[in-house]
Structure 1
Amino acid sequence: MKPFIMARKNLPFASSVNGAKALCLHFSLIRTAKHHGLAPYKYYVEAFEQIPHCQSVENFEVLLPWNIQLERVGMVVECN
């Protein structure tokens, strides 16, 4: 329940509809990464480092939390 409460408390601070959508996308990626056993920060760092090198949709799909290599990103120590 805590992630949903955090989202509910943070969404009013989004200054636009696009900002709220971006925040929801961010929370979604973090929760999905945790669900798949990844450390969210390390997942984001790895994904942002690789995005400039993506040339096709398949390259982007490799970076999704359920496709990325666990040994490169690290495991979650604590899952809330």
Structure 2
Amino acid sequence: LSGAPDKAHARRYLVKAEDNVPKAARSPNLLATRFIKLIGKLFAAEARSETWTAERRRRLRRRYSARVLDAIEKLMLEQTPGVVPQSLLGKALTYLHGQWPKLIRYIENGNWPISNNPCENSIRPFVIGRRGWLFADTVDGANASANLYTLVESAKANGIDPYRYLTWLFQRLPLAKTVDDYDALLPWEMPADLR
């Protein structure tokens, strides 16, 4: 979720470090640029495999992306000791190093996204709207709002029109009695012909 480690965030910090170097002094061997190019290879592989099955994408990640990640890690471990920790590049490398085990997990599963940007973008309206939601002045009201927002965003994340999903859900919810009944009401359980 928001604030979770992310290769897009790591890249963003490195781009800031690169932008801090005067254009006349930049070269392809600039350390930040080398990291950015390697991270770019990871995103290029993801773009290429966007329409593939999860298993095929996982194999690509294990064969190709893992090697690129190894190169990034090696470069990070070699270069970090020589970088001023409080510089923009130092902060970028500190983030990269501190989040490394979490940043590389996506290669384990072809369904996991390389970036959490879509998740962050989906919750951004709620983060921005916080101030306007002061009417939720009780814990129960805040919980109800959070539950409703979760249902709406889960429907969207599953390619389902939220209005159709909520209509379908609220018609069936009073009939649910068991855990299995409630599980059958999750967005991805909605029949495709009703979406």
TM-score by length of 2: 0.34
Q: Which of the residues 153, 161, 185 maps onto 1:63?
A: 185
CA separation of 1:10/1:62 partners in 2, compared to 1, >3 Å: closer, same or farther? farther
Q: Which of the residues 101, 114, 125 maps onto 1:2?
A: 125
Q: Which of the residues 155, 163, 177 maps onto 1:33?
A: 155
Tell me how far 1:62 sits from its aligned partner.
0.7
Q: Which of the residues 12, 16, 20 maps onto 2:138?
A: 16
Match of 1:49 in 2: 171
Deviation string for 1:21-60 (max 9, x for gaps)? 1101111110110000111111111111011222311011
Instruction: Give the aligned residue type for 1:67.
Output: E
Q: Secondary structure at the match of 2:187?
A: coil
How many residues of Structure 1 are paired with residues of Structure 2 in the alignment?
72
CA separation of 1:70/1:5 partners in 2, compared to 1, >3 Å: closer, same or farther? farther
Contiguous gaps of at least 5 residues in structure 2:
1-123
Please tell me whether the aligned partners of residues 11 and 23 of structure 1 are also in contact (alpha carbons under 8 angstroms).
no
Q: Secondary structure at the match of 2:163?
A: helix
Contiguous gaps of at least 5 residues in structure 1:
75-80
Instruction: Give the aligned residue type for 1:55.
Output: K
Q: Partners of 2:192 and 2:136 in 1: how far apart?
A: 32
Please tell me whether the aligned partners of residues 30 and 40 of structure 1 are also in contact (alpha carbons under 8 angstroms).
yes
Kindly report the root-mean-square deviation, in angstroms, between the aligned alpha carbons of the 2 structures: 1.5
User: Highest Rg: 1 or 2?
Assistant: 2
Percent of aligned pairs sharing the same letter: 31
